[in-house]
Amino acid sequence: MAFLLKPLLLSTILYLTLLTLTNGVSVEDIVTQSFFDGIIGQADASCAGKGFYTRDAFLSSLGSYPAFGQTGTTDDSKKEIAAFFAHVTHETGHFCYIEEINGASQDYCNKTNTQYPCVAGKGYYGRGPLQLTWNYNYGPAGESIGFDGLSSPETVANDVNTSFKAALWFWMQNVHSVIGDGFGATIKAINGAVECNGGNTAAVNARVGYYKDYCQQFGVDPGQNLTC
């Protein structure tokens, strides 16, 4: 049975590595059904997202990105979770929208990106909790999650588990590493070119407002550097 040793050893190393990367905080205990309902409950009954987004789908998606909300201290975890849902709340209008308003009329194809070329007839506009956008995001997100992001970007709007995984993929790739720099850094990572440096102060303030509210609900200080 010596041939089993290497896979077993690799599995053990991976497990121990994950233990060192996470702090044991239960995201499920923080993102309660009451907290989730407090967000989506503010969406109109007619909203498409009302019957799409669920807490169960969010929790299920965490298995693909185990470092989310489990890095640093317990307060660090709470602030990251608060930041994630603050941006989700703003991007989707309290889980109202699955797809970007008038997104199909927008050209989000970066033709200079040859690694993830656009597929004719497909639109890479905002979809999901963080409104995943651009071919250079759909391509690698699909590779990570396990779907064809370039040929089937609509999957992010059709399958709720893929939708949350796409949001978490973007977060872990672009936002997770700057959490320690303050909430303002997360705004910059998500939509800085449009909103920061006076680009859209109202949007920045809205995001900050949600973040401070959720931090209060979690019993954690929001910290400094809240705007960008």
Its pTM stands at: 0.90
Q: Using one digit for the tens of pLDDT, what is the confidence trace for 166-213?
A: 999 999 999 999 999 999 999 999 999 999 999 999 999 999 999 999
Residue 19 has pLDDT above 90, yes or no: no
For all residues of the chain together, what is the average pLDDT?
92
The catalytic site residues sit at 91
DSSP annotation of 95 reads T
Q: Which amino acid is at 75?
A: D
Q: Using one digit for the tens of pLDDT, what is the confidence trace for 157-167?
A: 999 999 999 99
Quick check: 129 and 91 in contact, CB under 8 A?
Answer: yes
Q: Which of 82, 95, 87 is nearest to 39 (CA)?
A: 95
The pLDDT, as a whole number, for residue 7 is 39
CA–CA separation, 134 vs 157, rounded Å? Answer: 15
Tell me whether residue 60 is exposed, middle or buried, using C-beta atoms within 10 angstroms of its C-beta: 0 to 12, 13 to 18, 19 or more: middle
Quick check: 30 and 218 in contact, CB under 8 A?
Answer: yes
CATH T-level assignment (fold) for domain 26-98+159-218: Lysozyme (1.10.530)
- Residue 111 has which token pair? 């033709």
Cβ neighbour number for residue 95 with a 10 Å cutoff: 24
Q: Using one digit for the tens of pLDDT, what is the confidence trace for 65-115?
A: 999 999 999 999 999 999 999 999 999 999 999 999 999 999 999 999 999
